[in-house]
Structure 1
Amino acid sequence: MKRLITTQRLGGVLAGAALALAALALLASAPQPAPDRYCTVQTNPLYTAPQATASSCGRLELAVPLRVLETSDGWARVQLEGWQLQGSPTVLYALEGVRIREAILDACAQAKLQVLKTVTDEDTGQVWNKVRLAGFWVPEKALSRDLRKPWATAEALYKKNCSACHALHDPAQFTANQWPQVLKSMTSRTPLDKTQIAWITKYLQYHAKGIDPDKVPLPCGLTPAKPKSPPPEPAPPAGSGSR
């Protein structure tokens, strides 16, 4: 009887350990944002100091991924990277050759840009610089690690408001460069405000023609990790067929 109880207890311990390991594996496979990685939840000036009375050197758009370098009394000093068309220093874009706006830069911000690399678009001949901008301040309340809710809201607003007059356009029907103008022609007949339109525009641009969602996911959308395919079953040994 004592041996039976011990065996039962051992079985319970092993089962508990297996469950714990399974839970740890599930947590490890879930998308986890880096502790210093955030996205903007609204447009906001790029302040030169952690206070609203400081001068600004430009404006951050919404849904811009960035890194928080330090915080101070409700403010965050940030760093972001983006692409800049050579000869057009005032606008920072999310992708090379794709006009998803990240920031509008004044001269004082342009002076602090660090060029990381330069590429030439083979189709257009345009020269693009990948750049980094660091050292400016934004309110911490303007940042979030998780934008799943606003992205879902943007999708719902698009489907609700942009199908009343015509069949709903598939996001991949237009390129990211085309969507802002296409949406502008439709939203004049809707009750959408500027902020809602900005979110919808970004949502459509990140789902547009030519944008691979696996390579360019929604910023801070916390796309679930794809499940791994099970390994193939081993082939039966030769001569092991049923008789």
Structure 2
Amino acid sequence: MRIILSIFFFITCMWSKNIVYSDEVVSLYLSQDDTKVVGRLLPTNSFEILKEQGNKVYVKIQGFVNPKAPFVIYYNNTQRIIVAAFSKNTKLNFSKKDMTKDDKWDRVSLEIWAEKKKFFKNDKEMLSRAKELFVNNCGICHALHKEKEFNANAWPAVFRSMVDRTAIEKKDHWLVIEYLQKNSKDFKAN
């Protein structure tokens, strides 16, 4: 029985995905040895670590691409909630590209190298921290806006227009923006 349980545990570990999140922007590279950053993965978005080598990790990012702007991967196929953004001249080799039902944006999967950072198994703690930053800083000059007051596409501009008057560090700007977008009045989970 012990042998069967050991085998079952081993097989489960082999097949389980290493899905993680980052609470900060992560630099992306076309190859393991590259020093030139070609893109950025934004906080609170899940990704899968496929392998680790040195100071980089090989990851799989999934999302949606607007065919008119193939250098941005979005969280869903209707809103501009960015998962990852790349230099416009970057040749991206999507390993999976499926048309969505409404043929608006394509569902994609991309395997790419990323800088190794502290990653998290879930996004609860980082979203809680983002909410705390928002609540403690964004109601100083005026009444605090409710997360559902604006739609997902409006929140980045609203936030950027006021963030310089807050104590929110630059490294946390995208964390708060992603939190606001994913709690907006029209947010659609993918």
TM-score higher than 0.5: yes
Tell me by how many angstroms 1:175 deviates. 0.8
How far the C-alpha of 1:105 sits from its partner, in A, is 2.2
The counterpart of 2:172, out of the listed 196, 202, 223, is 196
The residue type paired with residue 73 of structure 1 is G
- The answer as to whether partners of 1:48 and 1:54 remain within 8 angstroms in 2 is no
In the alignment, the residues of structure 1 paired with residue 126 and residue 110 of structure 2 have an alpha-carbon distance, to the nearest angstrom, of 26
Counterpart of 1:128 in structure 2 is 105
Aligned length: 174
Alpha-carbon distance between aligned partners in 2 of 1:70 and 1:171, rounded to the nearest angstrom: 36
Task: Tell me the distance in 2 between the aligned counterparts of 1:63 and 1:172.
Answer: 18
Q: Determine the structure 1 residue equivalent to 2:85.
A: 104
- Give the whole-Å Cα distance in 2 for the aligned partners of 1:176 and 1:35: 29
Runs of 4 or more consecutive aligned structure 1 residues displaced over 4 Å after TM superposition: none
Tell me the SS of whatever aligns to 2:50.
strand
Counterpart among 40, 44, 50 of residue 69 in structure 1:
50
Ranges in structure 2 where 5+ consecutive residues have no aligned partner: 1-15
Q: Tell me the C-alpha RMSD between the 2 structures.
A: 2.3
Distance in 1 (CA, whole Å) between partners of 2:35 and 2:157 is 34
Counterpart CA distance in 2 for 1:188 and 1:75 is 32
1:1-243 correspondence runs (5 A): 35-51=17-33, 53-106=34-87, 107-110=89-92, 112-119=93-100, 127-134=104-111, 136-211=112-187, 215=189
The CA distance in 2 between the partners of 1:116 and 1:203, in whole Å, is 27
Find the counterpart in structure 1 of residue 7 from structure 2.
none
Q: Among the aligned pairs, what percent are the same residue?
A: 25
Report the secondary structure of 2:43's partner residue: coil
The structure with the largest alpha-carbon Rg is 1
Which whole-Å CA distance do the structure 2 matches of 1:166 and 1:47 have between them? 41
Q: Are the equivalent residues in 1 in contact too, given 2:24–2:174 (CA < 8 A)?
A: no
Unpaired stretches in structure 1, ≥5 consecutive residues: 1-33, 217-243
